[in-house]
Structure formats: C-alpha cells, structure tokens
C-alpha cells in the first residue's frame, strides 16, 4: 500500500478518528474528529472556529491522530498519523458537506455552516499497526515530503549471538541466522525486552 492508500483507508474505511492537540500548558487534549477527504496532498477535516480545538490547531499547526477499526483489541487495526496542518478556510466546506451528507444533520442551515473551516494535514508520517495478524504487523509511511525516520529497536555489531534477546521476544521476530541478529521491524511490538536482556548492550532504541 502507498501512503495515499493509507490516507484513503482512514477516510473511507474508518472515517471517525481520535485526534490530539496540545494546550497552553503543553498538555494533550483529545477529541473525535472525522477525516472527510483525502488526496495526494493529504487529509482534510473541518471544525468550528469557536472551538478550543481551532485555537490549538492555529497555535502549533500540528495534529496527531489514530484511526481504529475492529471491535476488540485482537482484531483491531490502527492507523496513526502525525503531521503539519494548515487552515484552508470556508471554500472547501460545501464540497466536504456533499461528500459527507450526514454533516447536514449537525449543521442544518447554510448560516450555521459558516461557523466551520477546513484544515489540511499536508505533511507527516504515519504507521499502520495490525494486531489481528500473528505476529503483529507494523508499517511506516510518510506523505507530503516528510522525512522517513526509522524508529524502533535495532541490534548493532556488538551482538555476540548469545540468544538472550530471542528467548524473551514475545513476537518471535528476532532472526538469529547470522550475527548480528536482526529484528524484523514489521513485526516488532517495541516492548524493549530484547534491550533489557542483552548482556552486552547491543540493542539500541532509535
């Protein structure tokens, strides 16, 4: 799947996401916000200009979100995004209302719609996290030209091949065919057991 596929998945398969902004005291605030459209330039959502959410978006121009599908934990898929946002204003509102007709039930009149404004998440990184697979599956992606960062646990050349890490890996995702061992990043839970158990400090978190 391409980055655009993940963004489309959020809009079309999940739609209602939980987003996070940060208040003046640098503490997080969450809310349920629908992702109403996607294209090769990012994700689109709307909010009312009267909300504290609007002020927090304008202040830092950054948003994190997780979109989740699945009734229970072991069958859940979560797609998370972190990225830069910008306000596009009212112009795109009629288009978003047409694509999301249920919005008419919340803002029924033309006049009440004018409380709203559109934001775009135009550059960011994301992660697909699928707990329904065994071992779990994790895929990173970026969009809008954001730099790709490799996050997770990595085994360095200091590895002596003792097997301590592989023995405690809950996902059995450490390949021990050659030294240094290799962590299969796409199946790693990021629990850190391998780093804790390595007797020579060969596992690092990046």
The binding site for a second copy (CB under 8 A) comprises 15-22, 26-32, 34, 48-52, 60, 62-66, 68, 72-74, 76, 78, 80, 82, 102, 105-109, 111-112, 114-116, 129, 131, 134, 136, 151, 153, 167-170, 189-193, 195-196, 205
> d(Cα 159, Cα 86) in Å, to the nearest integer?
45
> d(Cα 78, Cα 84) in Å, to the nearest integer?
20
Asked if residue 135 has a cis previous peptide bond (ω within 30° of 0), the answer is yes
Number of neighbours of residue 97 by Cβ within 10 angstroms: 17
CB of 194 to a second copy, least distance (A): 8
CB of 118 to a second copy, least distance (A): 15
CB of 178 to a second copy, least distance (A): 24
Cβ nearer to a second copy, comparing 40 with 158: 158
Cβ nearer to a second copy, comparing 116 with 118: 116
- Contact status, residue 138 vs residue 129, Cβ threshold 8 Å: yes
User: 3-class SS at 147?
Assistant: coil
Cβ nearer to a second copy, comparing 40 with 163: 163
- With CA atoms as reference, report the closest residue to 121 among 99, 144, 100, 139: 144
Cβ nearer to a second copy, comparing 22 with 139: 22
Question: Which are the contacts of 189, defined by CB distance < 8 A and separation ≥ 6?
Answer: 136, 170, 171
Cβ nearer to a second copy, comparing 105 with 178: 105
H or E element that contains 183: strand 182-183
CB of 51 to a second copy, least distance (A): 5
Length of the chain: 206
CB of 11 to a second copy, least distance (A): 12
Cβ nearer to a second copy, comparing 2 with 112: 112
CB of 92 to a second copy, least distance (A): 18
> d(Cα 161, Cα 137) in Å, to the nearest integer?
25
- What is the pairing mode between strands 137-143 and 182-183? unpaired
């Amino acid at each position: 799947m391409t980055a655009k596929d993940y963004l489309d998945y959020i809009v079309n398969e999940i739609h209602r996401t939980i987003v996070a902004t940060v208040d003046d005291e640098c503490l997080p605030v969450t809310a349920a916000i629908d992702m109403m459209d996607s294209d090769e330039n990012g994700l689109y959502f709307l909010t009312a200009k009267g909300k504290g959410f609007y002020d927090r978006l304008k202040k830092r121009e950054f948003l994190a979100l997780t979109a989740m599908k699945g009734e229970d934990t072991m069958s859940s898929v979560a797609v998370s995004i972190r990225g830069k946002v910008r306000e596009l204003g009212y112009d795109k509102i009629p288009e978003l209302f047409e694509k999301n007709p249920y919005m008419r039930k919340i803002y029924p009149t033309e006049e009440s719609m004018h409380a709203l404004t559109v934001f775009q998440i135009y550059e960011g990184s994301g992660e697909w996290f699928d707990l329904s697979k065994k071992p779990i599956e994790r895929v990173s992606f970026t969009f809008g030209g954001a730099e790709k960062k490799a996050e997770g646990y990595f085994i360095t050349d200091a590895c002596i091949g003792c097997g301590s890490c592989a023995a405690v890996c809950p996902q059995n995702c450490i390949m021990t065919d050659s030294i240094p061992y290799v962590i299969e990043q796409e199946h790693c839970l990021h629990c850190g057991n391998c780093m804790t158990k390595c007797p020579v400090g060969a596992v690092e978190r990046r």
